[in-house]
Amino acid sequence: MGMPLITGRWNGPGQAATPAAPPPRPLGELLIDRGATTSGTVRSALRRQRRDRRPIGELLVDAGVPEGDVVGALAEQLGFNPVDLDQVVPEDDALYLLDGETARNLGALPFLIDELGMVHCAIANPADADQVAAVGKAISQPVFPRLAGRRSLERALDRHYTVLHRVDHAVQRAVVDRQEAPSATLAIPLRADAPVVQIVDLLLTQALRDRASDIHIEPQADRLRIRFRIDGALHDVNSLPTSLVGPIASRLKILAEMDIVDRHRSQDGQLEMTIDSRPVDVRVSTMETIWGEKVVLRLLDRTRSLVALPALGLQNADRERMRRLIDSPYGMLVVAGPTGAGKTTTLYAALSELDSASRNITTIEDPVEYRFENINQVQINRLAGTTFANGLKAILRQDPDIILVGEVRDVETAQIAIQSALTGHLVLCSMHAADSVGAIHRFMDMGIEPYLVASALIGVVAQRLVRLVCERCAATAAATPAEAAFFRDVMGHEPPARLPKAVGCVRCGGTGFHARVGVFECLQVDDPIRERIVARSHHNELIEAAVENGMHTLQQAGCDVAASGRTTLTEVMRTVYTI
């Protein structure tokens, strides 16, 4: 049986709880008095409540009232002590009183056991006696309900009931298995409940939930280091015993249909999995190090939504310039940047703007990261002899109107792409280059004649991804001397008096950043630019001509994002570099 439950207003440690007072005033009035909303918004929410039968607080949050204000007003109305879950790190002893599934079903998160032995549980509606009773029964300890916003509670449940805490138990079982069969280094764990199988599945699941693009499994002298790449930066998430280096690598190589016996040769493979009911493509790469095989996994979530052109982060002038470029009947548009800069996302956004009903659009990619309807997509398959160059040749025999080339990597692909653009096709492609002018010089460095480059190119979009400061914890500060000097050099005037500063909280994992946005420079090739390309003008001369034509440089775009309060100048200086 569950122990007695405690409800009502919390008076502090060592004091008894008192019954909740009846609500003195309606929630809407309290929020209006706080300046959090208007009477019109409240009336609209009340009309919706009569129709939708949902709590008025939730409807007000949907209408744009900050959830923190709603929670504060509810706390005053109901007499419950609120908790801000975005600023609380639950105690392990409290958190693990419920497993993740039970916590979600109950809509409760235990986060603190006080000196009286009462378990403080965050609940969206602590006045619901039946819900509180169910929580007490599941925990079998006295419960003190604390008021939390429903959205904040959902975020906290996702954040704290991660699957990584289950890895520890699986690791213990795996170590025991290894001790009992130390020579079975190449054993293939086929049982779904085998420890190594569970460890791999749990790591993949958590990586997807954390929005990780890559998983790094790195053998060290005394541990197996696990890192996730989130928003472009690597973060340590776990350390496993070195005895699991071989079994984990073997498990992944089996899934990716790679040779598990050959540990000395670097290998590549891929697999398809369903994680949290989402189909995911996983690219696997192995490499021998002095401590064992390092494995890197690239995760491609096939259910992710396509980013539309307006959501990329292009400034208004650049967005209109981009639209004009992709509306061209022929020519080559290049998207340039380093690995992980979001080039494919930009190309896909451009494709989504094009009319596929009246035109034959074909792509050749490695890999195909997003499936389009009414577009022909070709996957590179080196074993079958399908490369960018010969795949592009085959596409040209298929009467294409628009061709997307995932990456121009070599001179043969570059030559075919240039000729395609010159013979009446619109060619969209990506290329590794530091900036827009760097992409132009890259073609010429490959041996493409300048007059061909000048004739084929209609535009180059260079880009980077900068991390956005976490909205929950971001602060402001004056620019450092280095930041101020950078801003003055790029923008020609002093920076704003206050600029964003990354702090770090539970929501952003202590990094101070959450999510990323693109910064772009969009070079439209006009006649003066073509003349300079043919003349093999210096990099700086081409930049000057492009700026005269209205181009906003990468550094200027990055400084604009910082000045708007969305990122730090340090992040811009780190990310938006050119060579």
The answer to whether residues 155 and 170 belong to one domain is no
Residue 420 within any structural domain of the chain = yes
Question: What values do phi and psi take at 197, rounded to 5?
Answer: -60, -45
Q: Which among 255, 282, 254, 285 has a CA at the least distance from the CA of 268? A: 285
Residue 145 within any structural domain of the chain = yes
The answer to whether residues 372 and 446 belong to one domain is yes
The answer to whether residues 255 and 294 belong to one domain is yes
Residue 337: per-residue pLDDT: 96
> Of the residues 110, 140, 160, which one is the last residue of a structural domain?
160
Residues 483, 487, 493: CA angle, nearest 5 degrees: 135
The answer to whether residues 289 and 317 belong to one domain is no
Query: With contact defined as beta carbons under 8 Å apart, do 301 and 309 qualify?
Result: no
CATH number of the domain that residue 195 is part of: 3.30.450.90
Q: Which two tokens stand for residue 456?
A: 């084929």
Residues of 331-353 as b/e, b for ≥16 C-beta within 10 angstroms?
Answer: bbbbbbbbeebbbbbbbbbbbee
pLDDT, tens digit (0-9, with 9 covering 90-100), for 153-189: 988 887 777 666 667 667 777 776 666 655 444 444 4
| Tally of domains in the chain | 3
Residue 22 within any structural domain of the chain = no
Query: With contact defined as beta carbons under 8 Å apart, do 324 and 317 qualify?
Result: no
Q: Which among 289, 243, 287 has a CA at the least distance from the CA of 269? A: 287
Instruction: Show the domain range for 130.
Output: 27-160
Residue 561: per-residue pLDDT: 97
Residue 52: per-residue pLDDT: 77
The answer to whether residues 169 and 155 belong to one domain is no
pLDDT, tens digit (0-9, with 9 covering 90-100), for 434-443: 999 999 999 9
Q: Which among 203, 159, 237, 216 has a CA at the least distance from the CA of 508? A: 159
Residue 182 within any structural domain of the chain = yes
**CA–CA separation, 533 and 457 (whole Å):** 10
The answer to whether residues 435 and 349 belong to one domain is yes
Name the pTM for this structure: 0.72
The answer to whether residues 252 and 326 belong to one domain is no
The answer to whether residues 141 and 232 belong to one domain is no
Is residue 75 very low, low, confident or very high in pLDDT (cuts 50, 70, 90)?
A: confident
CATH number of the domain that residue 151 is part of: 3.30.300.160
Highest averaged pLDDT of the listed ranges 13-27, 148-162, 477-491 = 477-491
Q: What's the farthest any 2 CA atoms get from each other in the chain?
A: 86
Residue 371: per-residue pLDDT: 86
State the chain's mean pLDDT as an integer: 88
Helix 539-548 to helix 436-445 angle (10° resolution) is 140
The answer to whether residues 284 and 333 belong to one domain is no
CATH number of the domain that residue 347 is part of: 3.40.50.300
The answer to whether residues 288 and 189 belong to one domain is yes
Q: Using alpha carbons, list the distances in angstroms from residue 67 to 36, 45, 73, 147, 372.
A: 10, 15, 10, 12, 37
The answer to whether residues 402 and 437 belong to one domain is yes
Residue 478 within any structural domain of the chain = no
Residue 529 within any structural domain of the chain = yes
Residue 314 within any structural domain of the chain = yes
Counts of helices then strands in the chain (DSSP H, E): 22, 18
Cα 498 from chain centroid (whole Å): 27
Residue 441 within any structural domain of the chain = yes
The answer to whether residues 244 and 339 belong to one domain is no
Other Cβ atoms within 10 Å of 456 Cβ, number: 23
**Exposed (0-12), middle (13-18) or buried (19+): which is 309, by Cβ within 10 Å?**
middle
Q: Which two tokens stand for residue 29?
A: 């009035």
Residue 579: per-residue pLDDT: 53
> Of the residues 251, 283, 301, which one is the last residue of a structural domain?
301
3-class secondary structure for 238-297? EEECHHHHHHHHHHHHHHCCCCCCCCCCCEEEEEEEEECCEEEEEEEEEEEECCEEEEEE
Query: With contact defined as beta carbons under 8 Å apart, do 89 and 504 qualify?
Result: no
pLDDT, tens digit (0-9, with 9 covering 90-100), for 203-246: 998 898 888 999 999 999 999 999 999 999 999 988 999 999 99
pLDDT, tens digit (0-9, with 9 covering 90-100), for 555-574: 999 999 999 999 999 999 99
> Of the residues 132, 160, 188, which one is the last residue of a structural domain?
160
